[in-house]
Structure 1
Amino acid sequence: MLKTYIAAVFAHDRVIAEHAVRKINGCYLPASDDADSSVMVSALCAQQGIPELENEASIRILELDEFIRSENARGSFHEKADTRPVFAYFMQFDSFSSEGRLSDAVSDLHYLLQEEYLCLANYEQLLYSLSETDALWLYHRHADLIIEWMDAKTSIFTLGYSAAEILVKADKVCWELVNRWAADVLRRYL
């Protein structure tokens, strides 16, 4: 399971704020026991290669549900009259999903689908956009997880291919197997 956060970037120079938001938007942070906003800002800046913004901008981070409650209660998220915030969203694995290998798999899937907004409503459709090359890359990075999943959930022969087809259409079979594994992983962690 992932937690979604909203980052509001305040800056007198809107170009600086928009640059920071482009870097932050849609990224993932690994699990952390420290949910302190300043720690998250530092981690985001370090991970995304954003220079320190201390003097030029400030970033305020809220969990998505807290942000929505705040907006509804106050009608406005703005705290500084002289600047308007620019918003980005990012996600962080919570302690439940910091199982190491699976969080790496989710990060890899997000990397491959980084141009898209990944959510429960569209993840299966987005997985169909992965190429056979993407599937092979995922398989090589997570073969042990995929094989464990296959042992627990399915068989290579339940994919609808005969033994002869599996040998002839190996890349297609790999794509289908990885796609089903990825769908199962994302269903549990989105």
Structure 2
Amino acid sequence: MASALLSLPLTCSQGKEAIVYGAYKRSVFCKTRLYSKRFVGSKSICVHQSFIVVASMVGRKEKKTDIVIPEPDYRIPVVLLGIAGGFVYLDNLLPAATTGLLGLLLLFQTTRVRFIFDDEALEVRIGEQLQESGENIFVGGKNRWRYSTFVNWEFWWPQFPILVYFKETQTKPEGQIHFFPVIFNGKQLYDVMVERAGPSKTSGPK
């Protein structure tokens, strides 16, 4: 944030006071600590030939939207792996293998896939370093979609969210549908979607 000091071209002694406040903020959605500075004000007071000149300036705080990264949630892959174990116990090997492979895939994806919500778009990134995820292998284009292009979005199911759906017109004018397994904290994901993309037709997770 830019700040400036007001100076007076007077040939007299000057007393200047500037106050800068710094505050740590912690997002309810992620563990990242954000540091912001707010310029409160400065005063320059000069006494010259029996009069007092007081000049003050107050800087305005820049309004910025925090970047939100919902925390990973391992419940869905753990449940799938538990179901696979149940199929193995019942000697149903084919459904056990199918369910187990899906559970392992989602477990792997939960450790690496991140949803990044910035001030204008939702973006999918990979790994702790938040590397770009590249081209979308199904519909093409970058895995980044502006909130202004969202037509609708839904949660299935609010009590135990499994899938998140949204439709956007950025990829193609007639609209493109996306489905993602909810491998993130459902409450955090729902809240930031409401904030950035507008209300959904479904109720939020309890």
TM-score band by shorter chain is under 0.3
Tell me which protein shows more helix as a share of its residues. 1
Which has the higher relative contact order, 1 or 2, with Cα contacts under 8 A spaced 6 or more apart?
A: 1
Give the TM-score normalised by structure 1: 0.23
Tell me which protein shows more strand as a share of its residues. 2
